[in-house]
């Protein structure tokens, strides 16, 4: 609406009455605005609280404490000039804690986006104490719990939760002022609402008592697998009779009536306990110890007995320890048979040579990748072994069930055998054996040599070399030297496998042709070997690979990836086509690895294809040159073979056709023809081996170089051959048509001439086609539709031509600028089709022409054989010429002083 009023002006003051749990609002009006009678209302009440007729202070209320209210000054004449306060509320009224009475029990489960406050005040001004017995809060990066010594958030801070999730149980806060103000704020995620075990539980009471003072000492009795606690009381506090209790036991363990040491227990070893000194007069003066527990009692390993089996699946936020001790002080050994742990950057497994984590470190998992623990052996010479795991909040055995640890611990009261292991490959039978060179039997008289790949065990009673196997090529084998007296002295080999057996390439035989389409997360290897002593050559004919940042192709001159490197794909996607590699060793080893995306399998790269053969030949020698043939719109490549290499002849191939010329001797051979503007590469190959070859450069011929520039009359002559297609291209003056006039020349019955606008033989650009009954003399045609470029093509069949004498006269013509006609100026042109025609002719005139058009069709003697008049105007006109005999004619159009002419051929 219209703002045809003036709003009032006021300020507001809250007056708290905590005794009556209410508050009033003082409304200070300094301007009534345009309404001299203002109603003062509140959103929580429906009636008018006061009516202001003058400036001044108006007190309205009471309102219930802690519930916000909005005060409105109403302009009765125009509600658009009403004025409302912000929400108003009293400062938080404290809950009064009665000193001398029982503490107040409270709880709270904070929620996302929480904002809550509490206030307590002692009844007699004594200090207040707040003790949490349960609950947790997320890191103060996101959620904040702040406790103040006073009535509001401007008071001194007594406590604020730190970074990291905090367990609140046991937290005690004392406010000497007698007032505690507590606030919580939280973000939109992770709260007690999503973690119900985080519910806070606390007591608040007057600290009208004095707490006892004590220290605690743990006394371990590992023989009985328990411990005692010595409670050293140095001050009883305000209660002269203190009950000493433990959270793990329900009864009173001792009653202290004086300072001194009180021994309580026993408690089960390795289970923490909390000791409490109870003040019977006021539980808020109870004092509890931190959780107490004995140093870890070791598990005794009986030497001479069986090893002890253990397993563990560590969890997120884990902290776990183990302690073993040999019964006779012999060294201990632990051998893992399974399990994994994340990088030490996040999770740590540490094994010590001694009873605790202050002892020397024997093993710690490394940083970097996840560590597989199977096969890990650790020896503790001291006879004590302490092992500890700690982990962070994500990625553990709890989330990877295959990571469960399994181990054996035992006394090292034996000596392990010693041996080396050698793989002996039998590629002829696609298998391998393992030679075990046993240099010491250790403490066992007979060592059983076993394996996990199905071969029979072998017994060894003396040092020496023992053969185990055979095993299938490409399978993995672990050899174990078994000590029958103590399995902890068994010795395992690393996983063994034969080198990749090669594919034999027969020298003197056909090339080996192979393909491969690599996939995501691929890992593949190939090995080829020449059957003789010749080098091997590898030639890629197709395929691409992604950048070596992600996918790697490596090719080596030898039987494995320890051989000299011949090739490695670079950064950036690589086209492997024409890559030629020669391995002088007679072996080629190729390996591929790829990441999880972009490969041939997902069509991001193309399939590889290659040839491999023995390089049991020498390259031929050749030079190359291009020979252009403008008339036939083509070019050929002159190949001058100056050396046959190791063959008795050579073969010549090219990239444009599938034709391969064979039995080529030394000398010049013409290869082609190839179309103008195409690109070709010529290859001269050994008589039998495609890998011995030489390549030409890429050759091409630009058809534009064959265009003649003409304007003044220029004569040309050509004697065409059988199966001929001769091209003649002309470029005139821009904007001026070109005319071709035939002075003489003969054509065979099935041979013809084509005239095109422009240089391309497109059907849409064809101006005229025909042979005028074999006599081209006197025939003239010009370009149309604004073209100043012309293409003439002479096309013949495979019989009867000028070259063979049947067409007596060669074709002779003149090309010049200007349209057909003498002393005539053409103001336009017309289109006429089809030409040749069987009798029906269509003529379309330019839209610029108007009036009557006189059309005359003349034969080659100049005699008019058809005459007809029609009206111009851009329309399409159709004429019936079926009455004319087959032959060549001239169509002439006369209109408004303009003469236009085109040739016409009729064929019935």
* Tens-place pLDDT, residues 152-173: 888 999 999 998 889 998 899 9
Judge whether residue 824 has pLDDT over 60.
no
Measured distance between the N- and C-terminal CA atoms of the chain, rounded to whole angstroms: 92
Residues 31 and 13 in one domain: yes
CA 26, 30, 36, 41 torsion-angle sign: negative
When mean pLDDT is compared across 70-74, 337-341, 819-823, the lowest value belongs to 819-823
Rg from Cα positions in the chain: 53
| Residue 874 pLDDT | 63
Residues 567 and 627 in one domain: no
CB atoms inside a 10 Å sphere around CB 434: 24
Residues 110 and 33 in one domain: no
Judge whether residue 314 has pLDDT over 90.
yes
Q: Residues with Cβ < 8 Å from 562, sequence gap 6 or more?
A: 556
Judge whether residue 440 has pLDDT over 60.
yes
364 in any annotated domain: yes
3 in any annotated domain: no
Residue 791 banded pLDDT, cuts 50, 70, 90: very high
Residues 279 and 352 in one domain: no
Judge whether residue 55 has pLDDT over 80.
yes
| Residue 862 pLDDT | 65
| Residue 823 pLDDT | 30
- Please, are residues 56 and 76 in contact by the beta-carbon 8 Å criterion? no
Model confidence pLDDT, tens digit, residues 478-536: 999 998 888 888 888 988 999 888 999 998 888 899 999 999 999 999 999 999 888 99
State the average pLDDT for the chain. 90
Residues 605 and 665 in one domain: no
Q: Rounded CA gap, 55 and 380, in Å?
A: 92
Per the structure, the complete domain to which residue 169 belongs is given by 95-206
- pTM above 0.75? no
Q: Which residue among 58, 84, 110 closes a domain?
A: 84
Judge whether residue 243 has pLDDT over 60.
yes
Q: Which residue among 181, 206, 231 closes a domain?
A: 206
For the chain, give the percent of residues with pLDDT over 90: 63
746 in any annotated domain: no
Model confidence pLDDT, tens digit, residues 373-385: 988 989 999 999 9
Model confidence pLDDT, tens digit, residues 106-139: 999 999 999 999 999 999 889 999 999 899 999 9
Judge whether residue 196 has pLDDT over 80.
no
Residues 589 and 657 in one domain: no
| Residue 861 pLDDT | 66
**In whole angstroms, what separates CA 708 from the centre of its chain?**
57
CA 96, 99, 102, 105 torsion-angle sign: positive
| Residue 819 pLDDT | 67
Residues 193 and 222 in one domain: no
123 in any annotated domain: yes
44 in any annotated domain: yes
776 in any annotated domain: no
Peptide bond before 266: cis, by omega within 30 degrees of 0?
yes
| Residue 826 pLDDT | 37
CA distances for 573 relative to 316, 351, 549, 591, angstroms:
42, 47, 10, 17
Q: Residues with Cβ < 8 Å from 642, sequence gap 6 or more?
A: 621, 622, 623, 666
β 587-593/136-137 pair status: unpaired
Residue 827 banded pLDDT, cuts 50, 70, 90: very low
Residues 116 and 183 in one domain: yes
> Reduced to 3 states, what is the DSSP secondary structure of residue 515?
strand
Q: Rounded CA gap, 135 and 107, in Å?
A: 9
Model confidence pLDDT, tens digit, residues 530-589: 998 889 999 999 999 999 999 999 999 999 898 999 999 999 999 999 899 999 999 999
Residues 138 and 236 in one domain: no
> Reduced to 3 states, what is the DSSP secondary structure of residue 197?
helix
Judged on CB neighbours under 10 Å (0-12, 13-18, 19+), 779 is buried
Provide φ and ψ at 800, rounded to 5°: 60, 115
Q: Rounded CA gap, 602 and 596, in Å?
A: 11
Q: What residues form DSSP beta bridges with 218?
A: 229
Residues 202 and 220 in one domain: no
Judge whether residue 750 has pLDDT over 70.
yes
Judge whether residue 821 has pLDDT over 60.
no
What CATH number does the domain containing 381 carry?
A: 2.60.120.290
Q: Rounded CA gap, 791 and 754, in Å?
A: 8
| Residue 820 pLDDT | 58
CA distances for 206 relative to 131, 150, 281, 407, angstroms:
11, 14, 12, 56
Model confidence pLDDT, tens digit, residues 667-686: 999 999 999 999 999 999 99
Of residues 906 and 544, more confidently modeled: 544
Q: Which residue among 701, 716, 735 closes a domain?
A: 701
Q: Residues with Cβ < 8 Å from 143, sequence gap 6 or more?
A: 110, 114, 137, 161, 184, 185, 186, 187, 190, 191
Judged on CB neighbours under 10 Å (0-12, 13-18, 19+), 774 is middle
| Structure tokens given for 483 | 């000590």
β 384-390/512-516 pair status: unpaired
Provide φ and ψ at 417, rounded to 5°: -70, 170
Sheet strand arrangement including 479-482: 458-460, 447-451, 479-482, 491-492
CA distances for 865 relative to 85, 878, 889, 903, angstroms:
108, 17, 9, 14
Q: Where are the strands (E) in 222-352, listed by range?
A: 226-235, 242-246, 249-256, 260-268, 275-279, 287-288, 299-301, 308-312, 319-326, 332-338, 340-341, 348-352
Q: Rounded CA gap, 385 and 347, in Å?
A: 20
Q: What residues form DSSP beta bridges with 768?
A: 755
Nearest to 144 by CA among 178, 173, 117: 117
Model confidence pLDDT, tens digit, residues 635-657: 999 999 999 998 999 999 999 98
Peptide bond before 470: cis, by omega within 30 degrees of 0?
yes
Residues 78 and 106 in one domain: no
β 725-731/707-709 pair status: parallel
Provide φ and ψ at 812, rounded to 5°: -135, 125
For the chain, what is the domain count?
8
| Residue 825 pLDDT | 32
Angle, alpha carbons 815-818-824 (nearest 5°)? 130
**In whole angstroms, what separates CA 831 from the centre of its chain?**
61
What percent helix, strand, coil does the chain show, rounded to 5?
Answer: 5, 50, 45
255 in any annotated domain: yes
What CATH number does the domain containing 852 carry?
A: 2.60.40.1930
Nearest to 904 by CA among 828, 838, 805, 825: 838
**In whole angstroms, what separates CA 273 from the centre of its chain?**
52
760 in any annotated domain: no
Model confidence pLDDT, tens digit, residues 404-432: 999 999 998 888 899 999 999 998 888 99
Q: Where are the strands (E) in 752-882, listed by range?
A: 752-757, 766-770, 780-782, 789-795, 811-817, 831-833, 840-844, 852-859, 864-871, 876-880
Residues 405 and 307 in one domain: yes
Looking up tokens 């995501």 gives: 520
Please compute the mean of the pLDDT values over residues 624-635 and round it to a whole number: 95
Looking up tokens 């091409």 gives: 700
Model confidence pLDDT, tens digit, residues 258-293: 999 999 999 988 888 999 999 888 888 888 898 898
Judge whether residue 315 has pLDDT over 60.
yes
For the chain, give the percent of residues with pLDDT over 70: 98
| Structure tokens given for 767 | 């101006």
Q: Rounded CA gap, 328 and 305, in Å?
A: 12
Please compute the mean of the pLDDT values over residues 631-638 and round it to a whole number: 96
């Amino acid at each position: 609406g219209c703002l045809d009023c003036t709003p009032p002006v006021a300020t507001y003051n809250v007056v708290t009455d905590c005794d009556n749990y209410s508050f009033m609002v003082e409304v200070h009006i300094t301007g009534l605005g345009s309404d001299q009678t203002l109603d003062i209302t509140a959103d929580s009440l429906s009636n008018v609280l006061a009516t202001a007729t003058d400036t001044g202070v108006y007190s309205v209320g009471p309102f219930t404490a802690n519930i916000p209210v909005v005060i409105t000054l109403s302009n009765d004449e125009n509600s658009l000039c009403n004025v409302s306060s912000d929400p108003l509320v009293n400062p938080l009224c404290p809950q009064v804690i009665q000193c001398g009475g029982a503490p107040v029990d409270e709880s709270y489960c904070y929620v996302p986006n929480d904002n809550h406050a509490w206030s307590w005040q002692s009844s007699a001004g004594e200090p207040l104490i707040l003790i949490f017995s349960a609950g947790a809060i997320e890191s103060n990066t996101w959620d904040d719990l702040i406790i103040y010594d006073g009535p509001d958030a401007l008071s001194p801070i007594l406590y604020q939760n730190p970074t990291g999730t905090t367990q609140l149980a046991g937290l005690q806060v004392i406010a000497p002022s007698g007032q505690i103000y507590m606030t919580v704020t939280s973000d939109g995620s992770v709260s007690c609402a999503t973690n119900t075990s985080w519910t806070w539980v606390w007591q608040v009471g007057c600290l009208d008592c004095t707490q006892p003072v004590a220290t605690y000492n743990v006394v371990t009795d590992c023989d009985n697998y328990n411990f005692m606690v010595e409670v050293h009381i140095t001050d009883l506090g305000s209660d002269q009779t203190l009950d000493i209790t433990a959270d793990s036991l329900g009864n009173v363990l001792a009653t202290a009536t004086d300072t001194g040491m009180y021994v309580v227990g026993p408690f089960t070893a390795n289970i923490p306990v909390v000791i409490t000194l109870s003040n019977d007069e006021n539980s808020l003066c109870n004092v509890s110890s931190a959780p107490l527990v004995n140093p870890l009692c070791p598990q005794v390993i009986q030497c001479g007995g069986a090893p002890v089996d253990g397993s563990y699946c560590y969890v997120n936020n884990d902290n776990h320890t183990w302690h073993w001790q040999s019964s006779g002080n012999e060294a201990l050994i632990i051998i893992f048979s399974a399990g994994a742990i994340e990088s030490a950057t996040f999770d740590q497994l540490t094994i010590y040579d001694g009873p605790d984590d202050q002892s020397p470190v024997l093993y710690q998992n490394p940083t970097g990748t996840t560590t597989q623990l199977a096969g890990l052996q650790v020896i503790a010479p001291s006879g004590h072994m302490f092992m500890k795991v700690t982990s962070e909040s994500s990625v553990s055995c709890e989330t990877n069930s295959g990571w469960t640890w399994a181990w054996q611990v035992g006394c090292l009261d034996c000596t392990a055998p010693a041996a080396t292991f050698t793989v002996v490959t039998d590629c002829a039978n696609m298998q391998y054996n393992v030679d075990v060179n046993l240099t010491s039997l250790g403490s066992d008289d007979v060592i059983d040599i076993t394996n996990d790949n199905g071969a029979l065990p072998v017994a060894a009673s003396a040092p020496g070399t023992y053969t185990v196997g055979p095993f299938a090529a490409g399978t993995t084998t672990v050899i174990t030297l078994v000590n029958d007296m103590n399995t902890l002295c068994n010795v395992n080999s690393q996983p063994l496998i034969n080198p990749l057996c090669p594919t034999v390439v027969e020298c003197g035989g056909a090339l080996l042709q192979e393909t491969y389409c690599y996939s995501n997360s691929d890992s593949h290897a190939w090995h080829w070997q020449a059957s003789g002593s010749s080098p091997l050559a590898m030639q890629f004919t197709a395929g691409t690979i992604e950048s070596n940042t992600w996918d790697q192709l490596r090719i080596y001159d030898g039987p494995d990836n320890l051989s000299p490197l011949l090739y490695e794909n670079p950064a950036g996607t690589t086209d492997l086509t024409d890559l030629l590699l020669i391995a002088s060793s007679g072996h080629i080893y190729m390996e591929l690895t790829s990441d999880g995306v972009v490969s041939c399998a997902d069509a991001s790269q193309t399939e590889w294809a290659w040839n491999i053969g023995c390089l049991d030949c020498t390259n031929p020698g050749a030079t190359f040159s291009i020979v252009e043939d403008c008339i036939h719109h083509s070019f050929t490549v002159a190949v001058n073979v100056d050396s046959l290499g190791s063959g008795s002849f050579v073969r010549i191939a090219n990239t444009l056709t599938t034709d391969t010329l064979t039995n080529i001797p030394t000398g010049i051979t013409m290869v082609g023809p190839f179309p103008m503007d195409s690109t070709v590469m010529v290859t001269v190959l050994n008589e039998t081996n495609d890998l011995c070859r030489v390549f030409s450069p890429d050759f091409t011929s630009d058809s534009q170089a064959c265009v003649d520039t003409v304007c003044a009359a220029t004569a040309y002559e050509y004697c065409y051959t059988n199966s001929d297609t001769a091209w003649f291209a002309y470029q005139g003056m821009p904007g001026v048509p070109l005319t071709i006039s035939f002075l003489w020349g003969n054509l065979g019955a099935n041979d013809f001439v084509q005239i095109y606008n422009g240089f391309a033989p497109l059907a849409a650009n064809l101006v005229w086609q025909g042979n005028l009954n074999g006599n081209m003399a006197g025939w003239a045609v010009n370009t149309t539709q604004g073209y100043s470029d012309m293409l003439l093509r002479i096309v013949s069949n495979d019989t009867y031509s000028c070259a063979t004498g049947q067409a007596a006269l060669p074709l002779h013509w003149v090309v010049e600028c200007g349209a057909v006609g003498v002393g005539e100026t053409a103001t336009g042109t017309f289109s006429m089709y089809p030409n040749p025609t069987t009798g029906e002719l269509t003529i379309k005139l330019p839209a610029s022409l108007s009036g009557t058009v006189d059309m005359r069709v003349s034969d080659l003697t100049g005699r008019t054989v058809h005459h007809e008049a029609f009206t111009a105007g851009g329309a399409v006109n159709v004429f019936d010429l079926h009455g004319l005999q087959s032959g060549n004619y001239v169509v002439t159009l006369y209109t408004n002083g303009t003469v236009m002419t085109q040739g016409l051929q009729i064929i019935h």
